């Protein structure tokens, strides 16, 4: 019961085209020899022409392939060159120009997998022959395929109303296409709405953000669902069906005028853990901040006296328009969209995890977001930088960088913004209190426009910089002058000594981390996260806002830590990609797909939960599984998992893979151990 | 099919042989009840060592191709097995790898995990063996009367098709009697020109899907948090898929044909009907399938869940080791 690929008579006319890639390949592989060998030794496998050329991907190289197809009547082409990631498309397109179905062209890598990783020319040449032979065997089993054309619905879903999502929504809506914006919180705005000033220009965050929020709120092409979440996503690029859960606000949006009398009259004060970062209060009926968009408040049911105890209804009594509706229920709304932009942002790292810094234990240790609220004129202290007691102005402040970032115990990555945000804090402390400021940093990272200039400015203002990772923040005084202070214990690596620096206030510049529910959100939308939980872009350099799932784009901090300008740029970039799609009207999908042989599928349901793109459907009535061809991205996960061998993937069929292995063996001088039959 | 069968009574000849096997396949054939009379009515039994006396030299004397149908059970473990496999191949028009041992190695194939010496140690030199002189079988031995030989023990057990070309495969350990009866019916119909033989290389006497397809148990999306041995469970849900209850059932990768006997009796399928159509390496398939549905992302927890399968080779390759892509473990290959 073995694969007998090699015993098959060749019916195809195969061309082998070996590339020098300048000296990239030819420097380590005798490419002429590889071509000569293929022409002679693989003749019995159907190779009718084999040649080498300096740059196969150049237009002359491509023309060579086209000419061979036409003149030699080639029915299959094997190109031995670089990685398929780079030029598969180039050579497939060349074949298609010459009238050969592009999927009958196989690109095998003798650069990344051979010349770049070997140092022995003779062995590298032999391995190249093996790789070519594998490609030849494999291509015999390739089938002509046609791309799938699907129409694009003109509406777009944007998930997350932070600055990145706002930008994306506005760009698309301004271009004249409908946008549905879903935000989990009662208002759009995201983290930026919590800040007072933004580095490096120190613009007032609200001044630049609120006009955009207002534009979103009033835009004729934007339908906004706040206090809402996406519950389910079905379908595929061009044709997503999205179910949105609109949580009950208990406020009738038709009637509410946003007068805020209810908020004033509500007797129930609640610590605001989201917007005020736990530093301030809000009411049980609230808008997170006065400029909230939309203006309608929500009732926080678990904290509302009426909902918990059955009496109160103060808000209802005082509401001049009778907008309060305690009977309101959650609503489920289904919308059709063609594309989706995910801009769900980030969470702040919980610095309690770095126990030695004392957050949560030592009152005057603050997180960066708490500090943002302290500096905010509309915040709990009206912008006064004071200690936890609410009145004392600190005389010395220590700001610790990289809390939870660039730390093997927590996150290896750099959170990008913390250095600049710490410098912003140093400046604000100086400006508002005249206190002495220490910044404890490992490396100062102030790349990008006008960032280093800002650093110079803060240096000149007299902030003291200590280079070293803080070992501990403690209130245990040991030396004179430490009494009643927080002592920052640090190795000053520039001075080469241990220091104990007493301060009144410590600010922890905590890492940006993926949203708590990032993995579930990614799964819901059929995209992938990296090990940390940041959403993965299609290509880190060349395709930063697309994902491996067609029709799903990402923007802002959901993709990784970044500042506001980059978040905005990504929002705009995602919008541009979406607009391009809408303009095309339809999209051609790669026909690299898996499919289920319904006769072989036993309905064991092993594969049912595996597809990262939610392409697998189970038909309960017939007990068989099916794959939605438009959703399937050909990742192969289910193909590998199906124990019945009922799923096969085009381009990666069992026959192709086993044939390729046999082809490789042909040169590897593999022999079965003799002892087997001794 | 044209069948010239030089036979004393004009009936086509039938043979059955056992190589490295347990004898269960022979019993299964005898177990087909009155169908055995049809065999007798339609065939002349030319060679069947279990059922009647016969000599190898009688078979050698027959013209090539003179036996119409040979059911060959057992794997190829020694030189005698190989010699008779080659002999019967020459003499037979239709050679069937009958049962799991001949098709894929089965239990005798599990010895492919060990070297010949390890096997002989286990048989001749463990505490349970009374062998004070440490006698070991020798391929050749010089007696005063001259040198005598016993068959040579090969380092690796091979399936029948790893030794000679095989026409059909009939899986099962042993094949179910109703399936044997159906195959015999078919051959008789072919003899009378009422049916066609399936294409060469086909699997006969079995279904085209998997055991799950015949299993009446209810299934959900599979998410596995633990693997348990069936005897360690207090209660087994009689309706729910065993795999979902943590019992490592091989049904999903195993060819249908038995009628899902084991899971219906609340025992997991251990895979005796071999790989389903299109499955090249049975064990690898199952490993991939089980691993895909483990419901955890925590490496330690996964490790712990996998500890629930203490003998992975026994679980995944009980019947298919010799027929797998690797065929044998390194110590066996090294002899
Ligand atoms: C302390 C601090 C200070 C900073 N200061 C500056 C600065 O001065 N200058 C600067 O350039 N950058 C600064 N940054 C960085 C800045 O905050 C980010 O670059 C920017 O806010 C990222 O915007 P975003 O839209 O990607 O994410 P977010 O602002 O996090 O917005 C995401 C939005 O999505 C919503 N959401 C999340 N999950 C879901 C869901 N499942 N469904 C629906 N909605 C959801 C959230 O409620 C939120 O509204 C600072 C960061 C920190 C931590
Ligand atoms: S009913 Fe609830 S929301 Fe309204 S005023 Fe009373 S506590 Fe506040
Ligand atoms: S190959 Fe399977 S798992 Fe992968 S995308 Fe297609 S259906 Fe999903
Ligand atoms: S794993 Fe294979 S046999 Fe099982 S349900 Fe999926 S497609 Fe069907
Ligand atoms: S019990 Fe076994 S055979 Fe039955 S459905 Fe479950 S896995 Fe398949
Ligand atoms: S259920 Fe599995 S082990 Fe049991 S008889 Fe059928 S194939 Fe063999």
Cβ pair A443, A474 in contact under 8 A: no
Number of H helices, E strands in chain B: 14, 9
Cβ pair A614, A233 in contact under 8 A: yes
B334 interface with A at CB cutoff 8 Å: yes
Q: Which pair of structure tokens corresponds to residue B244?
A: 């979902």
Mean pLDDT of the A282-304 span: 96
Is B323 in Cβ contact with A602 (below 8 Å)? no
Q: Cis peptide before A294, with omega less than 30 degrees from 0?
A: yes
Q: If you write DSSP's letter for every residue of A522-547 in order, what string do you get?
A: HHHHT--B-TTSPBPPSBTTTBSSB-
Which segments of B14-78 does DSSP mark as H helices, in order? 24-30, 35-42, 56-61
**Residue from B4, B17, B148 nearest B72 by CA:** B17
Which residue puts its alpha carbon closest to atom 2 of ligand 4? A642
Q: What is the pTM of this model?
A: 0.68
Q: What percent of chain A has pLDDT over 70?
A: 97
| Chain A residue with minimum CA distance to B256 | A602
Angle at alpha carbon of residue A240, lines to A236 and A244, rounded to 5°: 140
Which residue puts its alpha carbon closest to atom 15 of ligand 1? A563
Is B221 in Cβ contact with A618 (below 8 Å)? yes
Question: Which of A597, A604, A677 lies at the smallest CB-CB distance from B212?
Answer: A604
Measured from the Cα of A188, ligand 1's closest atom is 49
Angle at alpha carbon of residue A499, lines to A495 and A500, rounded to 5°: 160
| Chain A residue with minimum CA distance to B325 | A2
State the nearest Cα–Cα gap between A620 and chain B, in angstroms.
10
State the nearest Cα–Cα gap between A646 and chain B, in angstroms.
8
Angle at alpha carbon of residue A137, lines to A133 and A140, rounded to 5°: 140
Cβ pair A278, A271 in contact under 8 A: yes
CA dist A507 and A310 (Å) reads 42
Cβ pair B259, B205 in contact under 8 A: no
CA dist A325 and A315 (Å) reads 10
**Residue from A581, A516, A511, A512 nearest A546 by CA:** A581
Strand partners, B149: B140
pLDDT tier at A154 (50, 70, 90 boundaries)?
Answer: very high
Whole-number Å distance, alpha carbon B254 to ligand 4 midpoint, is 12
Mean pLDDT of the A151-166 span: 97
Q: What are chain A's domains? A: 4-145 (3.40.50), 148-240+332-345+533-540+551-588 (3.50.50.60), 248-329 (3.30.70), 349-513 (3.50.50.60)
Segment A336-385, tens digit of pLDDT = 999 999 999 999 999 999 999 999 999 999 999 999 999 999 999 999 99
Whole-number Å distance, alpha carbon A544 to ligand 1 midpoint, is 18
Note every long-range contact of B307-316, with CB atoms under 8 Å and residues 24 or more positions apart, other chains counting: B308/B226, B308/B227, B308/B228, B308/B229, B308/B246, B308/B248, B309/B227, B309/B248, B312/B287, B313/B110, B313/B113, B313/B283, B314/B110, B315/B248, B315/B250, B315/B286, B316/B250, B316/B282, B316/B283, B316/B284, B316/B286, B316/B287
A391 has a pLDDT exceeding 50 = yes
Which residue puts its alpha carbon closest to atom 6 of ligand 3? A632
Contacts of residue A609 in chain B, CB cutoff 8 Å?
221-223, 293
Cβ pair A339, A576 in contact under 8 A: no
pLDDT tier at A653 (50, 70, 90 boundaries)?
Answer: confident
Segment A526-573, tens digit of pLDDT = 999 999 999 999 989 989 999 988 899 999 999 999 999 999 999 999
B246 CB-near residues (< 8 Å, 6+ apart): B224, B225, B226, B227, B228, B233, B308
pLDDT at position B1: 43
Ligand closest to Cα of A600 equals 4
Determine the angle formed by the axes of helices B177-191 and B35-42, rounding to 10 degrees.
30
**Residue from A637, A634, A626 nearest A599 by CA:** A626
pLDDT at position A667: 78
CA dist A210 and A261 (Å) reads 22
Selected residues 635-654 of chain A with any CB under 8 Å from a CB in chain B:
637, 640-646, 648, 654
CA dist B236 and A61 (Å) reads 66
Arithmetic mean of pLDDT over chain A? 94
Segment A23-45, tens digit of pLDDT = 999 999 999 999 999 999 999 99
B211 interface with A at CB cutoff 8 Å: yes
pLDDT tier at A675 (50, 70, 90 boundaries)?
Answer: very low
Is B280 in Cβ contact with A3 (below 8 Å)? yes
CA dist B88 and B158 (Å) reads 16
Comparing A402-406, A670-674, B196-200, B213-217, which segment has the lowest mean pLDDT? A670-674
Q: Considering all CA atoms of chain A, what is the largest pairwise distance in Å, rounded to the nearest integer?
A: 98
pLDDT at position A1: 41
- What class, spelled out in words, does domain B13-105+159-191 have in CATH? alpha beta
B155 interface with A at CB cutoff 8 Å: yes
B296 interface with A at CB cutoff 8 Å: no
**Residue from B262, B272, B274, B282 nearest B215 by CA:** B262
CA dist B116 and B123 (Å) reads 11
Contacts of residue B240 in chain A, CB cutoff 8 Å?
none
For ligand 1, whether the C-beta of A296 sits within 6 Å is: no
Segment A56-65, tens digit of pLDDT = 999 999 999 9
Mean pLDDT of the A298-318 span: 96
pLDDT at position A635: 87
pLDDT at position A565: 97
| Matching residue, tokens 């490419």 | A31
**Residue from A478, A414, A477 nearest A446 by CA:** A414
State the nearest Cα–Cα gap between B276 and chain A, in angstroms.
6
Which residue puts its alpha carbon closest to atom 6 of ligand 5? B241
SS3 B298: coil
Contacts of residue B169 in chain A, CB cutoff 8 Å?
1
A164 has a pLDDT exceeding 60 = yes
- Residue ranges of chain B with per-residue pLDDT less than 70: 1-9
Q: Considering all CA atoms of chain B, what is the largest pairwise distance in Å, rounded to the nearest integer?
A: 71
For ligand 1, whether the C-beta of A209 sits within 6 Å is: no
Mean pLDDT of the A589-595 span: 88
**Residue from A550, A549, A567 nearest A558 by CA:** A567
Question: Which of A607, A644, A675 lies at the smallest CB-CB distance from B335?
Answer: A675
pLDDT at position B8: 54
A673 has a pLDDT exceeding 80 = no
Mean pLDDT of the A235-246 span: 93
ipTM of this complex prediction, to 2 decimal places? 0.87
State the nearest Cα–Cα gap between A664 and chain B, in angstroms.
16
CA dist A604 and B241 (Å) reads 9
Mean pLDDT of the A431-442 span: 96
Cβ pair A277, A369 in contact under 8 A: yes
CA dist B18 and B68 (Å) reads 17
State the nearest Cα–Cα gap between B246 and chain A, in angstroms.
13
Buried b (16+ CB within 10 A) or exposed e, A51-83: bbbeebbeeebbebbbebbeeeebbbbbbbbbe
Cα–Cα distance list, A586 to A61, A237, A341, A434, A547 (Å): 32, 10, 18, 61, 18
Contacts of residue A518 in chain B, CB cutoff 8 Å?
none
- Separation of CA B190 from chain center: 26
**Residue from A441, A485, A497 nearest A464 by CA:** A441
Comparing A81-85, A495-499, B68-72, which segment has the lowest mean pLDDT? A81-85
| Matching residue, tokens 């769900």 | A344
| Chain B residue with minimum CA distance to A640 | B288
Is A642 in Cβ contact with B208 (below 8 Å)? no
Angle at alpha carbon of residue A341, lines to A336 and A342, rounded to 5°: 115
Is B220 in Cβ contact with A676 (below 8 Å)? no
A57 CB-near residues (< 8 Å, 6+ apart): A19, A81, A82, A87, A90, A91
The secondary structure element, H or E, covering residue A497 is strand A497-503
Question: Which residue out of B209, B210, B216, B217 has the highest number of ligand 5 atoms within 8 Å of its CB and is therefore the one to mutate?
Answer: B217
Selected residues 595-614 of chain A with any CB under 8 Å from a CB in chain B:
597, 599-610
Per-residue DSSP letter, A360: T
Residues of chain B with CATH 3.40.50.700: 13-105+159-191
Selected residues 244-263 of chain B with any CB under 8 Å from a CB in chain A:
251-253, 256
Question: Which of B251, B252, B280 lies at the smallest CB-CB distance from A654?
Answer: B280
């Amino acid at each position: 019961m073995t694969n007998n690929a090699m015993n098959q008579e060749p019916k195809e006319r195969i061309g082998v085209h070996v590339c020098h890639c300048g000296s990239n390949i030819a420097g380590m592989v005798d490419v002429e020899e590889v071509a000569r060998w293929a022409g002679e030794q693989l003749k019995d496998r159907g190779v009718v022409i084999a040649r080498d050329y300096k740059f196969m991907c150049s237009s002359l190289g491509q023309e060579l392939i086209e000419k061979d197809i036409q003149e030699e009547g080639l029915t299959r082409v094997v190109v031995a060159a670089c990685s398929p990631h780079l030029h598969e498309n180039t050579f497939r397109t060349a074949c298609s120009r010459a009238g050969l179905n592009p999927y009958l062209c196989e690109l095998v890598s003798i650069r990344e997998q051979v010349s770049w990783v070997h140092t022995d020319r003779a062995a590298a040449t032999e391995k190249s022959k093996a790789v070519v032979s594998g490609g030849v065997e494999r291509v015999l089993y390739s089938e002509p395929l046609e791309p799938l054309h699907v129409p694009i619905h003109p509406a777009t879903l944007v998930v997350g109303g932070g600055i990145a999502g706002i930008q994306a929504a506005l760009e698309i809506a301004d271009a004249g296409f409908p946008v549905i914006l879903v935000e989990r919180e009662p208002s759009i705005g995201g983290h930026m709405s919590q800040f007072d000033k933004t580095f490096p220009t120190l613009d007032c965050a609200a001044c630049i953000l609120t006009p955009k929020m207002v534009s979103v709120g009033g835009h004729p092409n934007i339908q906004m669902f706040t206090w809402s979440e996406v519950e389910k996503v079905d379908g595929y690029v061009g044709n997503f069906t999205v179910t949105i859960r609109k949580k009950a606000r208990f406020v009738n949006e038709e009637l509410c005028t946003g007068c805020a009398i209810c908020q004033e009259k509500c007797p129930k004060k609640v610590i605001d853990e989201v917007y005020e970062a736990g530093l301030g209060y809000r009411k049980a009926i609230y808008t997170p901040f006065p400029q909230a968009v939309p203006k309608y408040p929500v009732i926080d049911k678990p904290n509302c006296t009426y909902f918990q105890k059955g009496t109160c209804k103060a808000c209802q009594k005082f509401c001049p328009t009778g907008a309060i509706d305690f009977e309101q229920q959650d609503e489920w709304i289904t919308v059709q969209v063609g594309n989706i932009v995910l801009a769900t942002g980030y969470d702040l790292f919980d610095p309690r995890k770095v126990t030695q810094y004392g957050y949560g234990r030592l009152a005057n240790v603050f997180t960066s977001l708490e500090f943002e609220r302290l500096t905010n004129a509309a915040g709990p202290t009206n912008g006064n930088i004071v200690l936890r007691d609410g009145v004392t102005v600190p005389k010395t402040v220590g700001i610790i960088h990289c809390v939870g970032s660039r730390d093997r115990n927590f996150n290896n990555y750099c959170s990008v913004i913390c250095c600049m945000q710490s410098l912003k804090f140093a400046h604000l402390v100086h400006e508002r209190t005249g206190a002495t400021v220490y910044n404890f940093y490992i490396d100062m990272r102030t790349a990008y426009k006008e960032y280093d200039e800002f650093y110079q400015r803060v240096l000149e203002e007299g902030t003291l910089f200590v280079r070293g990772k803080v070992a501990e923040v403690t209130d245990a005084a040991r030396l004179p002058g430490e009494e009643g202070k927080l002592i920052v214990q640090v190795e000053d690596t520039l001075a080469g000594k241990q220091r104990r620096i007493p301060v009144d206030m410590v600010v922890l510049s905590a890492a940006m981390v993926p949203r708590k529910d990032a993995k579930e959100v990614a799964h819901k939308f059929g995209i992938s996260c990296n090990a940390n939980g940041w959403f993965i872009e299609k290509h880190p350099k060349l395709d930063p806002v697309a994902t491996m799932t067609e029709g799903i784009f990402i923007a802002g901090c959901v993709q990784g830590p970044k500042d506001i300008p980059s978040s905005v740029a990504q929002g705009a970039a995602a919008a541009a990609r979406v607009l391009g799609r809408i303009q095309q009207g339809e999209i051609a999908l790669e026909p690299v797909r898996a499919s289920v042989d319904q006769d072989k599928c036993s309905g064991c349901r092993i594969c049912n939960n595996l597809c990262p793109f939610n392409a697998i459907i189970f038909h309960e009535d017939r007990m068989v599984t099916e794959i939605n061809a438009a959703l399937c991205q050909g990742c192969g996960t289910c193909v590998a998992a199906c124990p019945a061998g009922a799923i096969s993937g085009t381009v990666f069929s069992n026959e192709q893979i086993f044939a390729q292995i046999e082809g490789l063996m042909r040169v590897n001088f593999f022999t079965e151990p003799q002892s087997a039959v001794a | 099919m044209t069948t010239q069968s030089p036979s004393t009574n004009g009936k086509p000849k039938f043979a059955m042989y056992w190589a490295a096997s347990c004898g269960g396949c022979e019993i299964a054939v005898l177990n087909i009840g009155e169908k055995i009379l049809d065999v007798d009515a339609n065939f002349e039994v030319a060679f069947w060592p279990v059922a009647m006396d016969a000599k190898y030299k009688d078979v050698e004397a027959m013209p090539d191709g003179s036996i119409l149908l040979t059911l060959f059970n057992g794997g190829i473990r020694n030189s005698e097995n190989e010699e008779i496999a080659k002999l019967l191949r020459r003499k037979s028009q239709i050679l069937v790898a009958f049962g799991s041992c001949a098709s894929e190695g089965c239990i005798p194939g599990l010895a492919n995990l060990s070297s010949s010496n390890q096997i002989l140690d286990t048989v001749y030199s463990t505490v349970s063996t009374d062998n004070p002189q440490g006698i070991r079988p020798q391929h050749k031995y010089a007696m005063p009367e001259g040198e005598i030989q016993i068959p040579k023990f090969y380092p690796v057990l091979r399936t029948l098709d790893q030794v000679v070309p095989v026409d059909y495969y009939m899986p099962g350990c042993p094949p179910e009697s109703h399936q044997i009866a159906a195959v015999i019916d078919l051959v008789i119909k072919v003899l009378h020109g009422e049916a066609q033989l399936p294409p060469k290389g086909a699997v006969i006497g079995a279904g085209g899907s998997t055991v799950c397809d015949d299993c009446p148990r209810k299934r959900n999306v599979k998410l596995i948090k633990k693997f348990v041995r069936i005897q360690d469970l207090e209660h087994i849900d009689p309706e729910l898929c065993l795999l979902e209850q943590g019992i490592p059932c091989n049904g999903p990768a195993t060819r249908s044909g038995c009628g899902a006997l084991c899971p219906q009796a609340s025992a997991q399928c251990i895979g005796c009907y071999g790989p389903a159509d299109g499955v090249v390496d049975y064990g690898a398939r199952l490993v991939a399938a089980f691993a895909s549905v483990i419901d955890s992302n925590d490496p330690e927890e996964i490790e712990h869940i996998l500890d629930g399968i203490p003998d992975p080779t026994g679980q995944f390759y009980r019947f298919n080791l010799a027929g797998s892509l690797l065929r044998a473990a390194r110590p066996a290959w090294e002899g």
